[in-house]
Structure 1
Amino acid sequence: MQSLHLVLGAAVLLAQLIPFSTQAAVQQSDAFTIGEVATAANTNSASLTLEQAIAMTLSISPELRSAAHSVEITEGARVQAGVRPNPELALLREGTSSRSNRSDTYQLSLPIELGGKRGARIKLAEQDQVLARGDVNVTAAELRANVTAAYLEALTTQEHVALAKESFSLASKSTNAAGRRVAAGKISPLEQTRSSVAEASARLELSQAVADATLARRRLAAFWGSTQPEERNLVTPDINLTVIPSLQELQSRLNASPQIQRARAQIEREEASFNLAKSDRVPDLTLTFGKKKDFQTNVSQTVVGMAIPLPFFNLNQGNLLSAMRRVDKAKTDAEIAYLNATQALADAHQRASIAQEQIESMRSEILPAAQSAFNAAVTGFELGKFGFIDVLDAQRTLFQSRAQYLSALSARYRSLADLERYISVEPIVGNYITDRNAK
Structure 2
Amino acid sequence: MKFRFLIASAILASSAHAWAAEVSLSAALAQGAETSPRVQAAKAKADAAEARARQAGASPNPELSLEVENFAGSGAFQGLRSTETTLALSQRIELGGKRSARLAVATSERDFAFLSLRAAEADLARDIRIAHAELRGAEDRAMLARENAGQAVELARTARLLVEVGRDPPLRQLRAEAVLAEAQAEEARSFGELLAARRFLADLIGSSDPDLSAMVADGEVAPGALPPATPSLDEQLAAAERDAAQARIRVARAEAVPDVTASGGVRRFGEGRETAFIAGISIPLPFRDRNKGNIEAAQADSLASEASLRLASINARRTQHDARMMLGAANARVAVLSGPSLAQAAEAVRLASIGYGAGKFSLLELLDAQSALTTAKTALIEARLDRARALAALIRAQARAGN
Kindly indicate whether residue 363 of structure 2 is the aligned counterpart of residue 385 of structure 1.
Answer: no
5+ unaligned residues in a row in structure 1: which ranges? 1-38, 429-439
Q: Report the counterpart of residue 237 of structure 1 in structure 2.
A: 217
Give the C-alpha shift of residue 285 in structure 1. Answer: 2.0
2:31 and 2:206 in contact (8 A); partners too:
no
Secondary structure of 1:250's match? coil
Kindly indicate whether residue 86 of structure 2 is the aligned counterpart of residue 105 of structure 1.
Answer: yes
Secondary structure of 2:142's match? helix
CA distance in 1, matches of 2:390, 2:267: 79
The one-letter code matched in structure 2 to 1:160 is R
Pairs within 5 Å for 1:349-364: 349-364=324-339
The one-letter code matched in structure 2 to 1:110 is Q
Pairs within 5 Å for 1:79-94: 79-94=54-69
Q: 1:136 is matched with which residue: 117, 120, 123? A: 117
The one-letter code matched in structure 2 to 1:76 is A
1:195 and 1:389 in contact (8 A); partners too:
no
Give the C-alpha shift of residue 165 in structure 1. Answer: 0.8
The one-letter code matched in structure 1 to 2:370 is Q
Change (3 A) 1:124 1:197: same
Q: 1:61 is matched with which residue: 6, 24, 36? A: 36
Q: Report the counterpart of residue 322 of structure 1 in structure 2.
A: 297
2:128 and 2:205 in contact (8 A); partners too:
no
CA distance in 2, matches of 1:44, 1:222: 21
CA distance in 2, matches of 1:83, 1:267: 24
Change (3 A) 1:44 1:254: farther
The one-letter code matched in structure 1 to 2:323 is A
CA distance in 1, matches of 2:328, 2:257: 59
Kindly indicate whether residue 174 of structure 2 is the aligned counterpart of residue 193 of structure 1.
Answer: yes
Give the C-alpha shift of residue 312 in structure 1. Answer: 3.1
Residue deviations 1:279-336, cap 9 Å, x none? 2233222221111122233321111122222333332222222221221111111112
RCO higher in 1 or 2 (8 Å CA, sep ≥ 6)? 1
1:267 and 1:327 in contact (8 A); partners too:
yes
Secondary structure of 1:283's match? coil
Change (3 A) 1:43 1:215: closer
Q: Report the counterpart of residue 125 of structure 1 in structure 2.
A: 106
Q: Report the counterpart of residue 176 of structure 1 in structure 2.
A: 157
Pairs within 5 Å for 1:192-211: 192-211=173-192
Secondary structure of 1:100's match? coil
2:69 and 2:84 in contact (8 A); partners too:
yes
Give the C-alpha shift of residue 43 in structure 1. Answer: 6.8
Pairs within 5 Å for 1:161-310: 161-225=142-206, 230-239=210-219, 250=225, 252=227, 255-310=230-285
Residue deviations 1:320-357, cap 9 Å, x none? 22221221111111112222222222332232222223
1:104 and 1:292 in contact (8 A); partners too:
yes
5+ unaligned residues in a row in structure 2: which ranges? 1-13, 73-78
Kindly indicate whether residue 397 of structure 2 is the aligned counterpart of residue 422 of structure 1.
Answer: yes
The one-letter code matched in structure 1 to 2:337 is M
Equivalences, count: 385
Change (3 A) 1:216 1:41: closer
The one-letter code matched in structure 1 to 2:296 is L
Give the C-alpha shift of residue 86 in structure 1. Answer: 1.2
Secondary structure of 1:301's match? strand
Q: Report the counterpart of residue 133 of structure 2 in structure 1.
A: 152
1:164 and 1:209 in contact (8 A); partners too:
yes
Residue deviations 1:189-214, cap 9 Å, x none? 22222211111111111011111111
The one-letter code matched in structure 1 to 2:217 is P
The one-letter code matched in structure 2 to 1:233 is S
Q: Percent identity?
A: 28
The one-letter code matched in structure 2 to 1:321 is E
Secondary structure of 2:91's match? strand
Change (3 A) 1:299 1:267: same
The one-letter code matched in structure 2 to 1:122 is L
CA distance in 2, matches of 1:252, 1:41: 48
Name the TM-score, length of structure 2 as normaliser.
0.87
Secondary structure of 2:338's match? helix
Secondary structure of 1:287's match? strand
Using the TM superposition, name which of 299-308 and 128-137 deviates more. 299-308
Q: 2:348 is matched with which residue: 370, 373, 377? A: 373
